[in-house]
Amino acid sequence: MVDDEVRLRYSGFIMFLSRLLSVGTGLLFSLMVTRNVPAEEFGVYGNITDILSYFTLAASVFPFWATRSVARKNPGSSITGIAANLLVSFPFSIVYAFAYPLIMSAIQISMEYVMVYAIVTAEILEIYLLAAFDATLHARRPQALGLGFLIFELCKVISAFLLIVGLRLGLLGAIVSVILAYLLQLLFYLRLTLREFRERIRWDYVKEWVKGSVLNVYGIIGQRLLALANILLFVLGGELARAHYGAALTVANIVGYSSLLAFALYPRLLSEDRAEDVSVSFRMVLMFAIPMTIGAAILSESFLIILNPIYRDSQLALVLLSLNSFCLTVSSVFHAVVSGTEKLDADAKIAYGDIARSRLFLLLTLPYAQAAVTVPLTYFVLTSIVGDAVGAAISVALINLLANVVLVIANYGLARRCLEFSMPWGHVGKYLGVSVLMALVLVLVPVPTRVSTTVATTLLGGCIYFLLLSAIDEESRGIAKSATHELLRVLRVPLGKGRREE
């Protein structure tokens, strides 16, 4: 593999643009699922995702350390990470294969879905392997992950059309489509990393990563505790509540794509602490995150209608989840600062005493405090206050939003202790002001109810935003030109070639 320096803006743009292009494919997939699968089955689809997360919770443990090791150019790190993660995937797949009938019985899922839950075993293996390949590519060629994601999306849509629309396999077709798409993505990553297989597996690295896994497991448990809120929504609120929440989340997650503009910040900070990189990343992220959040709120009814008219009552849930996604986006940059500046494993050696004293440990403690509030509060609200599916979805969305607002503040304070960086408040003011003007125009447009008119209105809002912003902000004009240049470049220039850019 060519050992290039990570390019901050280039990699960020490729990742972000790939996700934006995938919005269309993602929308097509969602439409095929929501229009051909009953709402109750869509709720089951969301439940499968929730359950799967518990059996893939170790997928990121070794890749976390592999990324750091590859970024620091330790020989054999890539092949070691891939081999170690493959070994880890086996016990989790086996446990799931024996456990899913018990899980279905415990949460009262009809046995007619047994085949759907069974084939998810293959997806577990794929997720572990993808995480290992991601670790190498993230450290050396982050833009490759953007292309890999596009391959995944295109394969998923084509497979879904054949299996869901053509063969009418319903929920089973949706799951198989994802599995086939993961397989093609894996083959693409394998082609890019073939040279890594010539290196020797370094089991001494794994020994150190096992020590560090204490930190990863600690963080994973915190995240899984947070995920209990979604399980409670499904069990106590019902399949329809989870379906309404899932539909709103499908749209709100698009706001989070803007965090990918800072995707290369983490490996950059691993090799060099530069405060200006953080400021550049924030300007790129917020330039898109602010208008996307406001646009999702203004057009919330339209987005839900094109998914399926039965979800149009979930507008408030979509607004709340869009704001929540914005908070998570901002937090992701702070998270990159803390993780990227941590020197715990700088010498490829990890000591247990250093783990407890690290800022990473403190960062991973925050979800425990968040779960201690959100999970009991979710249980109380769903059992004592809320009586319908839409109300349950809105309540859980509001609880998550309030918790993540507090989390943003805590992450900011922690990141500032790691690296002295400046927040681009002047630029934030411009982005917010222009976004408000964009919103005023969109409010005057009649509510679109068709896919074509909704897409046209969305594009109109984007054009208004960037035209107004370009008129008052010189940097945005440069970024717009750069985005166009990089999109054309990636279509004709092989991956990994090019100079380092700020």
Long-range contacts of 476-485 (CB under 8 A, 24+ apart): 476/287, 479/284, 479/287, 482/9, 482/13, 483/13, 483/17
Both tokens of residue 255? 């706001």
Which residues in the chain land under pLDDT 70? 1-12, 346-348, 477-502
The C-alpha atoms of residue 48 and residue 177 are separated, in whole angstroms, by 14
The amino acid that residue 323 corresponds to is L
At residue 483, the pLDDT reads 57
At residue 217, the pLDDT reads 84
Describe the crossing of helices 239-252 and 8-36 by its angle, rounded to 10 degrees: 150
Q: Are the C-beta atoms of 94 and 28 separated by less than 8 Å? A: no
At residue 323, the pLDDT reads 96
The C-alpha atoms of residue 212 and residue 24 are separated, in whole angstroms, by 39
Q: How many CA atoms lie within 13 A of 463 on its CB side?
A: 6
Can you list the alpha helix ranges (DSSP code H) found in 77-113? 77-106
Both tokens of residue 124? 């577990």
Nearest to 227 by CA among 58, 362, 44, 367: 367
The C-alpha atoms of residue 100 and residue 201 are separated, in whole angstroms, by 34
Residues 6+ apart with CB under 8 A from 32: 157, 160, 161, 164, 165, 174
At residue 495, the pLDDT reads 42
Nearest to 435 by CA among 284, 292, 258: 292
Both tokens of residue 337? 């600062």
Can you list the alpha helix ranges (DSSP code H) found in 385-449? 389-418, 425-444
Cα-only R_g, the chain: 22
Both tokens of residue 223? 């995240």
The full set of domain ranges for the chain reads 8-492
For 47, 147, 236, 356, the CA distances from 59, given in Å and listed in that order, are: 19, 21, 29, 22
Nearest to 151 by CA among 196, 190, 119, 106: 190
